[in-house]
Amino acid sequence: MGSETTGNIFVVDDDRFVLESVSTLLDEYGFTVQAFANGHEAVKQFVTRPVDLVLTDINMPHMDGIELLEKIRFLDRETPVVLMTAYADLDTAVKAIQKGAFDFIIKPYSPPYLIHTVEKGVHYKHLTQIEKNYKRELEITVEKRTSELAEALRRLTKMSREIIERLTSAAELRDEDTGLHILRIGLYAKKLATALGMSDTFIEQIHIASAMHDVGKIGIPDSILLKPGALTSAEFETIKQHTVIGEKILQGSAHSMLQMGATIAASHHERWDGSGYPYGLRGEAIPIAGRITMLADQYDALRSERVYKGAFDHATACDIILNGDGRTMPEHFDPHVLATFDEIKDEFAEIFDASQSQEPPSRGVHTRQLPLPLDAQPPVSGRDRPGRNPPSPGLPGSRPPASRGS
């Protein structure tokens, strides 16, 4: 005799005759059987070895079948427990089923029915084990795939940032002095966005995207972009087109970083009072990323020395931004952004001063990664000229433009 289903069976019964007869029957059908005269011994052994099914009498001294059922269920809810009971204990058996017993057998038992019930229980245990193993393998697979996806995302993010770096580098190669300017703009913008209470995602994106504000300079002729003197009105109109060119280069991307870059490129010369360019936007019609970058760009332009202008110290630059000087006016800026700048302006000075200790690399060599810490090697520089109307020719004593179409 034999059974297609085999397994480890615990048989528990205080009746020696029943214990031996059931054990012998199960052994003949190929099951591995361990017999116990009481529940305490069965519980002790249960925790030391795998068990596929427990077959126990209900009425036993010291620990009855119901208590044994509860202990087995506590130790392992997946191990089926089959109860053996006489007709008089039928109500008790039904209650045991309600407590989680797998099945019950009425004494005197029918050998074929007992074998069928045990096979059914062991098969159930095997199925639950297969399911558990499958779930474990699935979890391992999901964890592995998640790790692979995370690594792929990391590589994609790195590649995306490298593309952004190369876009900004293309503009920098046209203009000698903007490398540290671009680095600082990202840090200023990050400081402002943080102080304004923007989301972590926004802060991370503007830190990098603001560096693309001048990417459109790649489309401006060298004869205008690199001109050391004052620009004519026609030349200034050409310079102003770097905003539109930058927007066209970056727009249409599915990448949120590039989307913000396009927004900033187009709007970082718009003014709160509507006097900016290229679209003459006013107030909150100007995207917040553009409003933040506009102030950051203006501060850095005022602080920076160019062949066509001198550098202002921190206090003077802040006074011009906050109080105006006739060319730069407070009404050019978002009032909330301006007030926030006033609160954290000393942090702008720290960023600018820290960058001054950096030695620029040889012309044409780019080692920059965005965002860069201030103690990292700066990129190739290019001349930064955020947009301002050129001074009227021949007016003595007029302040040179702080910037030209950065």
SS (H, E, C) 70-96: HHHHHHCCCCCEEEEECHHHHHHHHHH
In a domain, 382, yes or no: no
Q: Examine the domain organization and report whether 193 and 127 are in the same domain.
A: no
Q: Examine the domain organization and report whether 257 and 341 are in the same domain.
A: yes
Domain CATH code at residue 342? 1.10.3210.10
Q: How many residues can be counted in the chain?
A: 406
pLDDT at 385: 38
Domain CATH code at residue 80? 3.40.50.2300
Structural domain count, the chain: 2
Q: Examine the domain organization and report whether 87 and 186 are in the same domain.
A: no
Q: Examine the domain organization and report whether 198 and 95 are in the same domain.
A: no
For residue 110, give both structure tokens: 């029918």
Cα separation, 102 vs 240, whole angstroms: 81
Q: β-pairing, 103-106 with 8-12?
A: unpaired
Cα separation, 245 vs 220, whole angstroms: 9
Assess contact for 296 and 192: CB atoms under 8 A.
Answer: yes
**Structural domain containing residue 295:** 173-355
Count CA within 13 A, CB hemisphere, residue 140: 6
pLDDT at 393: 34
pLDDT at 151: 80
In a domain, 296, yes or no: yes
Q: Examine the domain organization and report whether 187 and 318 are in the same domain.
A: yes
Helix H or strand E encompassing 32: strand 32-36
Q: Examine the domain organization and report whether 179 and 127 are in the same domain.
A: no
Cα separation, 179 vs 189, whole angstroms: 16
In a domain, 234, yes or no: yes
pLDDT at 406: 52
What's phi and psi for 49, nearest 5 deg?
A: -150, 160
Provide the whole-model pTM. 0.56
Q: Examine the domain organization and report whether 21 and 89 are in the same domain.
A: yes
Domain finish residue from 135, 160, 182: 135
In a domain, 144, yes or no: no
pLDDT at 9: 95
In a domain, 404, yes or no: no
In the chain (406 residues long), the average pLDDT of successive 10-residue segments reads 76 93 94 94 91 93 90 91 79 80 88 94 90 86 83 72 65 58 92 98 94 88 83 92 93 87 97 97 98 97 82 96 95 98 97 78 34 32 37 37 52
Q: Examine the domain organization and report whether 89 and 13 are in the same domain.
A: yes
Helix H or strand E encompassing 10: strand 8-12
In a domain, 162, yes or no: no
In a domain, 140, yes or no: no
In a domain, 148, yes or no: no
pLDDT at 17: 93
pLDDT at 186: 93
107 to each of 2, 57, 75, 192, 299, how far by Cα in Å? 23, 10, 27, 82, 94
